[in-house]
Structure 1
Amino acid sequence: MSSEQRREVIILGSTGSIGTQAIDVVTRNPDRFRVVGLAAGGGRLDLLVDQACALGVEVVAVADPDAAADLGRRLRERGHPAKVLAGAEGVAELASWQCDVVLNGITGALGLESTLAALRAGRLLALANKESLIIGGPLVRAVAQPGQIVPVDSEHFALAQCFPRALGDDLTSLAMGQVHAPTAEVRKLVITASGGPFRGRTRAELSGVTRGQALNHPTWSMGPVITVNSATLVNKGLEVIEAHLLFDVPLDRIEVVVHPQSVIHSMVEYTDGSTLAQASPPSMCIPIAYGIGWPHRVDAVAPAIDWTRAHTWTFEPLDGDAFPSVDLACEVGAAGGTAPAVYNAANEEAVDAFLAGRLAFPAIVDTIAQVVSEHQQPDTSSALALADVYAADAWARERARELISRSA
């Protein structure tokens, strides 16, 4: 597709942080993009209706089936009778709707079916929902074609651009295990982490942190779940697994380094001692625009680094004692199977409990570790099935809730 053609986009998770920023990119570039469908959970119905009417979309999906009738009524009252799809199956149906690209910005494990639906329909997938790849890795890899997934996480967007340009001018050879040849020259992937709001604290100093403190991220503006995940560094553990699955680089060659300024988004270190890094101010609009516009860049998405003034960028090792979630994620990624689904599900339950005031901050990762330690992998004689992933997810949530109730 040439850059002059207007690309039709479907945005899943339109009322969340990724979705609202994606809409901002689209509305600032009406000659490049047109949104044809939106999906959201249903918790911010007023915003979803405003988005649908402003963008003139033809179809809207809401994950909460009880909100569908209300959504349809509000749209009709606004003179915009778009088609309404309801429930998780409605969101997945929208993911396969006719379009050029699907941006999956759904939070959590709920994004898996939509990821699979978009890939099966042959859509280009701009993937911000890392959890769907992490928990359903073998399932996603089985249906994804080379170049069909463009990573939207800033770290993986950065890594993809740091691979050798000899591979081509786009990501066709870089997504979903298509980098077998270049990995011989790659010594390691280096994923940067801001360190979150509690960088430098010991584990003992984390015991009394509050919800408000955990949600006060120093460099990024994100939704509550991913912000807490950044505070525990669970998000970074998930990103390590995601990088492993996207680029086929072994887990022991993926390193996390703390970079508080969040300007270097990730790096690729080569066997000759050179390291390539991608740098830009901390704005998700840049990877979002690249994801929905791939393989063409979108002009003036965000301000570039101002080289007329002095900058200081620092790097420091990750404190694995205070933040053990990354090491735990590496163990889970190496185990494979349904272990990543258990890690993710236990975390989602623990984060919900922390945000509700029912769980202490350090107990988030403690809960994940306990649930992971009790997990029994399904029979490995056959390929992983979607039912296996969902069964592990359900078991992990139930077990996490039991542990959380005992700690209350």
Structure 2
Amino acid sequence: MNAAVMTSGALCLCGQVPIAQASARASVGGSEKGRVPALLRAVDGASLVSKSSSCRSSYLGVQVKETQRSARMRKSTASGGSARAEIYIEEAGSGTAVIYREDEEKSSESSGPTTMKGWTYSEYGAAKDVLKFEDSIPVPEVKPDEVLVEVKAAALNPVDGKRRIGKFKATDSELPHVPGYDVAGVVVKVGSDVTKFKEGDEIYANVSEAALNQPRQYGSLAQYTAVQEKLLAIKPKNLSFAEAASLPLAIETAQEAFDRANLKEGQTVLITGGAGGVGSLAIQLAKNVYGASHVATTASTGKLNFMKSLGADKVIDYKNEKFEELSDKYDVVLDTVGECSKCVKVVKEGGAVIALTGALEPPGVRFVVTSNGDNLAKLTPYLESGKVKPVIDSKGPFKFSQVVEAFEYLETGRATGKIVIGPVE
């Protein structure tokens, strides 16, 4: 015999429960009355399902107890602060069967803000023409494999500007957009399938798995953003939100470039554009993570000493020297500025050129960076030990109200490291 519990507006049924009598009507008093199903019935052949998304039902077994026929409810505290409601049917001479249990967990289903402040654009164009500040953007819905992040800081990348002017419109997500790939913040809601993160976790991430292929419609330049669990990593303890936000896309780009080039300990590396967001991190990764024996980079005259402070063994002043005319050859060349035709002249036979922009020539390798939280997590020891340090342009962090100015500065190409926006509020 199956036991059915009829509740107002929802049917929550639990496993097979042996009950001697055909039915028992609930008799409940006190303040708990409103929480007890109005009717408890033993029904032959009832299907045991749950149509209530806010409860989890399960059969708890039979407890022998001699007492008169009645129904009662017990409310207790389960692990994690959950409230547990258990309904008992007590039958004289046959024992007590628990036929219903509802766990009210601290749930990601709980109510929260429905609108947020943020930056949007509904058409492609220049920052000053299309970027608008809105104060009633819908907060993104959280899918089962996602978390909702309260954004504390965000950062800009060159791809943000290129996307905004429509360079990738053929593969872009639907307008309007909230721009921004890089985020650092606090988890405030978790989807039902999320297992590695919880509310209150301080995280950082690139919110779009593939930067150019259907990037997320609602990015990081708003008070909240939804992010897939697989893209997240716990923020290194020693970094501020602004520092953490400066990292994800740039450091993942450098990391994946070196992995695809199969950079090995003891090899030599040339990085063009060492002062940029990717370049400044690539120098540190090549030297301190991958173990390159010699790292060279290009930079302008005023940034030579800074490049050396990041670990570069040789800094080529591109205003006074042409790196492609020098005699040095490298195992791996990472081109961050679109000079692939020059880079192929300085790579060793059997080496690799990784081009992030511009035309590509053999033996170059082109790829689209794939965001992955596990890859970020691998770098945590290097970030927490200081072997790899975020590089934030001295003009930042920009205020949340200055996103247009931040984009315009990004597009001058003169920034050192990353352009960060924060706090986001």
TM-score, normalised via structure 2 length:
0.25
Identify, as 1 or 2, the structure richer in strand: 2
Bigger Rg, which one: 2
Identify, as 1 or 2, the structure richer in helix: 1
Higher RCO, 1 vs 2 (CA within 8 Å, ≥6 residues apart)? 1
